[in-house]
Chains A and B, each alone.
Chain A
Amino acid sequence: MSEQIEKAISRKYDAGFVSDIESDTFPPGLDEDVIRRISAMKDEPEWMLEWRLQAFRSWQKMKEPDWAHLGYEKIDYQAISYYSAPKSMKDKPKSLDEVDPELLRTYEKLGIPLHEQKMLAGVAVDAVFDSVSVVTTFREKLEEAGVIFCPISEAIKKYPDLVKKYIGSVVPRGDNFFAALNSAVFTDGSFVYIPKGVRCPMELSTYFRINELNTGQFERTLIVAEEGSHVSYLEGCTAPQRDENQLHAAVVELVAMDDAEIKYSTVQNWYPGDENGKGGIYNFVTKRGIAHKNAKISWTQVETGSAITWKYPSCILKGDNSVGEFYSVALTRGRQQADTGTKMIHLGKNTKSTIISKGISAGNSSNAYRGLVKMGPGADGARNFTECDSLLIGDKCAAHTFPYIESSNPTAIVEHEATTSKVSDDQLFLCQQRGLDTEKAVSMIVNGFCKEVFKELPMEFAVEAGKLLEISLEGSVG
């Protein structure tokens, strides 16, 4: 691992390049017409368009939330383009050979080879570029197991009944400002369906890339795990380095039926902006899962990118004995701001949730944990354990913790622990005295701090995440 790390350290935001790809991009602006055009581009059925339009109408009546611990200039929603797709994707390439090589090169450069020979063994990838899915690998192999893994735009046409049944069932169209916006304009994303009793034979992952200037990315992911099934899914995100802020507003819905298990991991590395806070992605994401009887939903996130992160992956523990987990590492540096956490809504009996949040702040950044644990009246014997640790690097950054607990059941138990620590001079000196340079020392200390979360990531990605922290930390020690 250390070899790669050494290499990684010598670079800055690694994924900041722009691909030279001709795109069809809508002019900026948002009205019902734009939504009709998006729907038409995707060749959608009427019910989908209607659903979008209703979302749009409720969005128009909503106010952008301002309760988060974030400061940014008002977003002009009319200055954003809501659709952009590589021209070459218009003819819908049938196989990899027909995909624009420049697109494939983009993913190659990001370390995601899409060619069959080079693909990561055991990981199926859906590659989403701006508003469209470029390619989904290992599809046949998955189909053999009965697993559906495809772009959501395709699922809407091929599996309308499934999509109709579940879309908006966990995050309703009008759930919140950003979710409503997404519901109106979402362009692509992944759809996963695991049939009853099936253990998905490989890791599924979606790789999101924003390329075009001034476009927003609004992806929507829906994962349905039928009774007794099991799936592990990972998403990764990057964007070019640009001076303008760009908006990313995604919605993810997870449905875990009785005895099912969904493990959802995120490695988010959107462009964070420069050290003065110029540019960077605004990341406003709604992620929520519903767990039926004995089901388990586990969110693991490593958030190192974005100028602004607003994100609270949540679990509705509806079924008795269902389990929710949230493991998070959020690193901010420079002028980055993060307000992230989770909601655990305990409805069923003996439901259990665990929250482990590790916030790391460096530079002039601000990092807030915001978490809600709610024990409903029927949540007899429910338990939550929350651990919330903050690590400060330097003295110009800030860490905040906002835990909310609402309990309407006297038999439910909620435990909360919080710590704040610093990378101490003593620790740094010990490492250096043992021959390690400062960067190495800091990344080792930070990695140690995050260990509880990293061990939850799928193997291949744990290494990736560690590397990401090293790159992100470069130059944050003075």
Chain B
Amino acid sequence: MLTIKDLHARVEEKTILKGLNLTVNPGEVHAIMGPNGAGKSTLGYVMSGRDGYELESGSIELNGEDLMELDVEERAQKGLFLAFQYPVEIPGVSNMEFMKESVNAMRKARGEEALTAAEFLKVAKEACKQVNLPLDFLKRGVNEGFSGGEKKRNEIMQMILLQPSLAILDESDSGLDIDALKVVANGVNSQRDGKRSFIVVTHYQRLLDFIEPDFVHILSDGKIVKSGGPELAKEVEATGYAWLGKPEEAGA
């Protein structure tokens, strides 16, 4: 479903991704780990087409389609979802309104009828309960005044509502208490249906106790330097990244 070939990409004149390869098949969960600054978030941004993140060479295909040809919202409409490492606030726009517009934009792109307010309210309430947020979070402004953990759960709620075919979770487990961690994991697990795929970026083996990945990759200095099964995450937890050595300075 997802094929990334020899991806080189830069932000503001600085090359961050330096020959990254990754293949994700339908139904698979891939965990990506790696030191701070390795380029994990950058990968998510490049895939979703964020402004300022430029492709130098290589390709990204989702379900046989060249993603680089598409705008951010078109990629989203094709089923690509990014749960943000740092979710941003949109004051005054209620969560409910935001997600309804979002869900209906996706439905429209698929040629489906928009959900009515009542229909949407029903599914939204379900999703809200599933991530263990009180229902008044639907009325509050998007991420407005949410705690760190609440923001992360809100991202998962959006994922549940949008049912993407490929979801990238960028450190959705950072800063979570153990109950919230289970909520995030359950969110992912409830969506695993053998077709939907996930890329889970994390620093901690702990999340992977709840979401069992099919593959674990280590991303370092813009490349995937090692891939393996769940045991690789345990190895990282035990030994850290010292074995990677110092990343080469680009151009130095």
Query: Which residues of chain A have a CB within 8 Å of any CB of chain B?
Result: 2, 424-427, 429-437, 440, 444-445, 447-452
Note all chain A residues with C-beta closer than 8 A to B50.
429
Is B105 an interface residue, CB under 8 A from the partner?
Answer: yes
Is B65 an interface residue, CB under 8 A from the partner?
Answer: no
B140 smallest CB distance to A (angstroms)? 12
Q: Is the CB of A445 within 8 A of B73?
A: no
B59-100 contacts to A, CB under 8 A, are: 71-73, 76-77, 81-82, 84, 87-93, 97-99
Is B15 an interface residue, CB under 8 A from the partner?
Answer: no
A54 smallest CB distance to B (angstroms)? 48
Note all chain B residues with C-beta closer than 8 A to A447.
92-93
Q: Is the CB of A452 within 8 A of B114?
A: no
Q: Is the CB of B105 within 8 A of A440?
A: yes
Q: Is the CB of B73 within 8 A of A430?
A: no
**Contacts A450-B92, A451-B92 known; 8 new A-B pairs at CB < 8 A:** A429-B72, A431-B102, A435-B102, A435-B106, A444-B93, A444-B98, A445-B93, A447-B93
Could you list 23 A-B pairs, sorted by A, with CB under 8 Å?
A2-B104, A425-B51, A427-B89, A429-B51, A430-B90, A432-B71, A432-B72, A432-B73, A432-B76, A433-B73, A434-B158, A435-B76, A435-B105, A444-B93, A444-B101, A445-B93, A447-B92, A447-B93, A448-B90, A449-B92, A450-B92, A451-B93, A452-B92
A394 smallest CB distance to B (angstroms)? 14
Bound Cα distance from A450 to B87, whole angstroms:
22
Known contacts A2-B114, A429-B72, A430-B87; is-contact A436 B92 (Cβ 8 Å): no
Is B109 an interface residue, CB under 8 A from the partner?
Answer: yes
Note all chain B residues with C-beta closer than 8 A to A425.
51-52
Bound Cα distance from A259 to B93, whole angstroms:
35
Q: Is the CB of B93 within 8 A of A424?
A: no
Pick from B48, B73, B93, B99: contact of A448, CB under 8 Å: B93
Bound Cα distance from A431 to B90, whole angstroms:
9
Q: Is the CB of A433 within 8 A of B91?
A: no
Q: Is the CB of A433 within 8 A of B93?
A: no
Q: Is the CB of B92 within 8 A of A427?
A: no
Note all chain A residues with C-beta closer than 8 A to B104.
2
Interface centre among A2, A427, A434 (most CB of B within 10 A): A434
Q: Is the CB of A433 within 8 A of B48?
A: yes
Note all chain B residues with C-beta closer than 8 A to A444.
90, 93, 97-98, 101
Q: Is the CB of A430 within 8 A of B88?
A: yes
Is B230 an interface residue, CB under 8 A from the partner?
Answer: no
Interface centre among B52, B73, B89, B162 (most CB of A within 10 A): B73
Bound Cα distance from A440 to B51, whole angstroms:
17
B174 smallest CB distance to A (angstroms)? 18
Q: Is the CB of B101 within 8 A of A426?
A: no
Is B149 an interface residue, CB under 8 A from the partner?
Answer: no
Note all chain B residues with C-beta closer than 8 A to A435.
73, 76-77, 102, 105-106, 109, 162
Is B19 an interface residue, CB under 8 A from the partner?
Answer: no
Known contacts A429-B72, A434-B162; is-contact A449 B91 (Cβ 8 Å): yes
Q: Is the CB of B90 within 8 A of A434?
A: no
Known contacts A430-B84, A448-B90; is-contact A436 B101 (Cβ 8 Å): yes
Look across to chain A and name the residue whose beta carbon is closest to the beta carbon of B80: A433
Once A and B bind, how many residue pairs between them come within 8 Å at the CB atom?
75
Bound Cα distance from A432 to B73, whole angstroms:
5
Note all chain B residues with C-beta closer than 8 A to A432.
71-73, 76
Bound Cα distance from A56 to B171, whole angstroms:
71
Look across to chain A and name the residue whose beta carbon is closest to the beta carbon of B109: A435
Q: Is the CB of A427 within 8 A of B141?
A: no
A7 smallest CB distance to B (angstroms)? 14
Bound Cα distance from A420 to B94, whole angstroms:
21
Bound Cα distance from A445 to B77, whole angstroms:
20
Q: Is the CB of A448 within 8 A of B141?
A: yes
Note all chain B residues with C-beta closer than 8 A to A424.
88
Q: Is the CB of B92 within 8 A of A434?
A: no
Known contacts A2-B114, A430-B84, A444-B98; is-contact A436 B73 (Cβ 8 Å): yes
Bound Cα distance from A435 to B81, whole angstroms:
9
Q: Is the CB of B101 within 8 A of A440?
A: yes
Note all chain B residues with C-beta closer than 8 A to A440.
101, 105
Note all chain A residues with C-beta closer than 8 A to B72.
429, 432-433
B234 smallest CB distance to A (angstroms)? 32
Q: Is the CB of B76 within 8 A of A433?
A: yes
Note all chain B residues with C-beta closer than 8 A to A452.
92
Pick from B51, B71, B98: contact of A434, CB under 8 Å: B98
A461 smallest CB distance to B (angstroms)? 18
Note all chain A residues with C-beta closer than 8 A to B101.
2, 436, 440, 444
A462 smallest CB distance to B (angstroms)? 14
Note all chain A residues with C-beta closer than 8 A to B81.
433
Bound Cα distance from A455 to B17, whole angstroms:
47
Interface centre among B52, B88, B114 (most CB of A within 10 A): B88
Q: Is the CB of B106 within 8 A of A448?
A: no
Bound Cα distance from A391 to B73, whole angstroms:
24
Bound Cα distance from A444 to B94, whole angstroms:
10
Q: Is the CB of A434 within 8 A of B102?
A: yes
Note all chain B residues with C-beta closer than 8 A to A433.
48, 72-73, 76, 81-82
Look across to chain A and name the residue whose beta carbon is closest to the beta carbon of B50: A429
Bound Cα distance from A164 to B114, whole angstroms:
56
Interface centre among B87, B104, B105, B141 (most CB of A within 10 A): B105
Bound Cα distance from A431 to B88, whole angstroms:
10
A83 smallest CB distance to B (angstroms)? 44
Bound Cα distance from A424 to B89, whole angstroms:
10
A175 smallest CB distance to B (angstroms)? 36
Interface centre among A426, A440, A448, A450 (most CB of B within 10 A): A448
Note all chain B residues with C-beta closer than 8 A to A445.
90, 93
Interface centre among B92, B98, B105, B114 (most CB of A within 10 A): B92
